[in-house]
Amino acid sequence: MLTNVEVERKLNRYKPRPYQVPVLKALDEGFKRVLAILPRRAGKDITALNYVIRKMWECPGVYYYIFPTYSQAKKVIWDSLDNDGHRILDYFPKDLVVQMNSQEMKIRMKTKNGGTSLFQLIGSDNYDSLMGTNPRGCVFSEYALQDPLAYRYIRPILTANGGWALFISTPRGKNHLWNIYQIAQNSPDWFCYKLTIEETNHIPLEEIEKEKRSGELSQDMIMQEYYTSFDMGVEGSYYASYMDRMRREQKISDVPWECAFPVHTAWDIGVRDSTVILFFQCIGTTVRIIDYYEKQGYIDQGLLNNNDLLALSKMPNDITRTQLLLSILNNKEQNESKT
């Protein structure tokens, strides 16, 4: 029979990568809701599973590991091997396993105080099986692909018993993962963690570039799978990669107007579609975009009457000031003739 020290040594065999540590630290510090959005092949499931095993040893209870489908849970955890050819289930110390039920994918394990904990793999496509249960902790793996009703049903249970939930996923457009990401960013009760391949460095960037050059991966898929971009729901979004980089570099935020500096404008003229105006200030070497105007049809006359504004405007290269005003006025006349 193993001593507690020997068990701890076995549990410590798994060493998380540096970029995985903040997620585990957040859980240990008491966060009940943790969201980790990481690139593909970043070791999300191995890290989460080892955390669950440790908590099973420390705190007797029921722990669910939820995948989008039951068959996916079987492939990724129950039947899978790691990069060294070892079974994923071998992370469970054999001396602590009391019972292993392959049909229901359950493992009953001893705890440090002499009790037992129960681990079970579940598919979100069968969330009814969660009804009436009392889990201490849940992992939602690839949450972007799950049925969100699974979490909605189990959330009140976790809230009532003080249980925790860990969400790990790569984006799939702006779906329910995006919604929970918005909540996590703005709630002090959540720990929100989002990294890209440039921050994890778990795959050489040159390997990704090779796949791009060979045509195996589009730029859109690279942005989604490795740069954890939510803007890739529709391939071909032209500026999505630039916008996503700006978000990662925290260049999109509330930008104040500085009254000591002039306001410039840049115009995208729309004759049949909207005209767009960006308002910006040049402060030192920084260009600050402070406002945005969009209007279908004619532009508000107040803008056209502002000579200072027009004097500081950046117009398209292929249009003169006179042509601009004529097109706007023509739009106005056309719109008025329709009413």
pLDDT tens for the chain, 339 residues long, are 677 777 777 787 889 999 999 999 999 999 999 999 999 999 999 999 999 999 999 999 999 999 999 999 999 999 999 888 889 999 999 999 999 999 999 999 999 999 999 999 999 988 888 877 899 999 999 999 999 999 999 999 999 999 999 999 999 989 999 999 999 999 999 999 999 999 999 999 999 999 889 888 888 889 899 999 998 644 445 566 566 667 767 778 888 888 888 888 888 877 667 778 888 899 888 888 988 888 776 666 566 555 555 555 665 655 554 455 555 545 545 555 555
Residue-level pLDDT at 236: 46
Tell me, yes or no, whether 194 and 322 share the same domain. no
For residues 186 and 286, state if they share a domain.
Answer: no
Name the domain boundary from 183, 203, 223: 203
Does 230 reside within a domain?
Answer: no
| 38 in any annotated domain | yes
- The DSSP result for 44-59, as a single string, is HHHHHHHHHHHHHHHS
Instruction: Indicate whether 88 belongs to any domain.
Output: yes
- Confirm whether 333 is domain-assigned: yes
268 & 185 share domain: no
Amino acid at 180: I
Measured distance CA(53)–CA(319) in Å, rounded: 66
Measured distance CA(86)–CA(82) in Å, rounded? 5
Establish if 271 belongs to a structural domain: yes
Q: Is residue 59 part of a domain?
A: yes
CATH number of domain containing 24: 3.40.50.300
State both tokens at 323. 């042509």
Q: Are residues 192 and 49 in the same domain?
A: yes
Task: Out of 203, 219, 253, pick the residue that ends a domain.
Answer: 203
What is the residue type of 79? D
| Domain count along the chain | 2
**Among residues 203, 231, 254, which one ends one of the domains?**
203
Q: What's the pTM?
A: 0.71
Paired sense of beta strands 97-101 and 106-110, if any: antiparallel
Provide the domain limits for residue 277.
264-338
Q: How far is CA 328 from CA 139, 268, 270, in A?
A: 56, 12, 9
Q: Are residues 74 and 172 in the same domain?
A: yes
Residues 57 and 160 both lie in one domain:
yes
196 in the same domain as 274 = no
Could you tell me how far CA 62 lies from the centroid of its own chain?
A: 27
